[in-house]
Amino acid sequence: MIDIKLIRENPELVKENIKKKFQDHKLELVDKVIELDKKSRETILNGDTLRAKRNSLSEQIGSLMREGKKEDAENIKLEVKKINDELVEVEKSEETLKEEINNIMMKIPNIMHESVPIGKDDSENVEVKKYGEPAVPDFEIPYHTEIMESFSGIDLDSARDVAGNGFYYLTGNIARLHSALLSYARDFMINKGFTYCVPPFMIRSNVVTGVMSFEEMDAMMYKIEGEDLYLIGTSEHSMIGKFKGKILDSEKLPYTMTSYSPCFRKEKGAHGIEERGVYRIHQFEKQEMIVVCEPEESYEWYDKMWSYTVELFRSLDIPVRTLECCSGDLADLKAKSVDVEAWSPRQKKYFEVGSCSNLTDAQSRRLGIRVKKKGEKQNYFAHTLNNTVIAPPRMLIAFLENNYNQDGSVDIPEVLRPYMGGLEKLEQ
């Protein structure tokens, strides 16, 4: 959510931002908000005037009663009652207009950073840099589920019987490798100075609407029937929600946290050959990082955060690249975002394994996350950022393909061996 003052003072800038996101159907929302905001301020002014008049008349009633002018006092009481009746309607209008404005403001996208490339969809995202040499071996690399099956490490058929498509059982050394990657990622981020956290895996609707757009909510979230609770699609949701409605001491910023959670997603529209196996699923586990910081520090943290993901993947001998998300691929709350993609030697291309985003104050405005600075009277909104550290099993796919040997074994990089009981290689 952006500042309504920006719409009042510079509506054309807001409209231009909408056009750059190729969301022309939302242009009318800007004019609608301006109209409703004007009406709301007039209604509030009318209410304030009526309250002031009521207070003045109420004071007169006391004076008249003390002077013994009971009839005059009763007449003024009738006038105060009329004002009270009128105020009931005015206050209803205030609430209705406030709700209407808020609902529209939730649909107007955040102002993008000036460096965001303009493009209609993810096909126009821009490669920034490659890290590591993307190699293609002179032998065939099997599909990831075939590699897992060769170690008796996955059972999709039983999972399908138990829960349907999009679920899996991991077993043996593949399950151990899955957990080892998460543990390594956890410790990697702790060593970067982040505080480890295990958050709630369900959140209320007022947190959901605070952390994501309505479009994302509909496409991603599973609702718990009969409860005001949703299963999280990523721990960022409950981690940012942790600060909902709070006034943060500027001297304690930034809050840097890394969190583990299972994640649950509808994955509407999943299709294509690469949706087989465990590439796109309804349930997975993830190590996330979030930062809540001063506005002037958010882009410095943005660069640090995605670089941590790159560093982690390279420590596991996995080549990656960074891809700048274009305007049309940028979710409404995001001001700037970069995807980290891992090299797939089997497919001979990169695929997404994480995403780092700066949401500036868009989430903070929705959730009421403010900062109080010593010596300053007015509080201000914090900036929030999130980034994937790793998200198995996609990370598992990248790991297996890039460490696969011709004899069917899989190398375990040195940094991961302590988490695998000292194993240097998985062998069939």
Position 31 scores a pLDDT of 96
Alpha-carbon span 158 to 35, nearest angstrom: 57
| Spatial CB neighbours of 199, under 8 Å, sequence gap ≥ 6 | 232, 235, 238, 239, 242, 259, 261
DSSP lists the bridge partners of residue 386 as 290, 357
Alpha-carbon span 376 to 381, nearest angstrom: 13
Among candidates 355, 314, 300, 322, which has minimal Cα distance to 188?
A: 314
Angle at 182 between CA 179 and CA 187, to 5 degrees: 125
Among candidates 86, 102, 4, which has minimal Cα distance to 48?
A: 86
258 and 231 in contact (C-beta within 8 Å)?
A: no
| Spatial CB neighbours of 209, under 8 Å, sequence gap ≥ 6 | 106, 217, 366
Local confidence pLDDT in tens for the 428 residues of the chain: 899 999 999 999 999 999 999 999 999 999 999 999 999 999 999 999 999 988 888 888 877 777 778 888 888 888 888 999 999 999 999 999 999 999 999 999 999 999 999 999 999 999 999 999 999 999 999 999 999 999 999 999 999 999 988 899 999 999 999 999 999 999 999 999 999 999 999 999 999 989 987 777 777 889 999 999 999 999 999 999 999 999 999 999 999 999 999 999 987 554 443 456 787 889 999 999 999 999 999 999 999 999 999 999 999 999 999 999 999 999 999 999 999 999 999 999 999 999 999 999 999 999 999 999 998 989 999 999 999 999 988 999 999 999 999 999 999 999 999 999 999 999 98
Alpha-carbon span 128 to 393, nearest angstrom: 25
In order of start, what are the domains of the chain with their CATH numbers? Answer: 4-105 (1.10.287.40), 122-426 (3.30.930.10)
340 and 309 in contact (C-beta within 8 Å)?
A: yes
| Spatial CB neighbours of 201, under 8 Å, sequence gap ≥ 6 | 231, 232, 238, 261, 262
Alpha-carbon span 202 to 296, nearest angstrom: 32
Position 273 scores a pLDDT of 38
Beta strands 230-231 and 222-223 are antiparallel
Residue 72 identity? D
Report residue 232 as tokens.
């999280």
Residue 19 backbone dihedrals phi, psi, to 5 degrees: -65, -40
- Give residue for tokens 């009421």: 368
| Spatial CB neighbours of 163, under 8 Å, sequence gap ≥ 6 | 282
Q: Is 193 left (phi over 0), alpha (psi -120 to 50) or beta?
A: left
- Written as one string, the DSSP assignment of 121-137 is SGGG-EEEEEES-----
Q: Identify the DSSP state of 409.
A: -
Q: Identify the DSSP state of 251.
A: G
Alpha-carbon span 107 to 337, nearest angstrom: 19
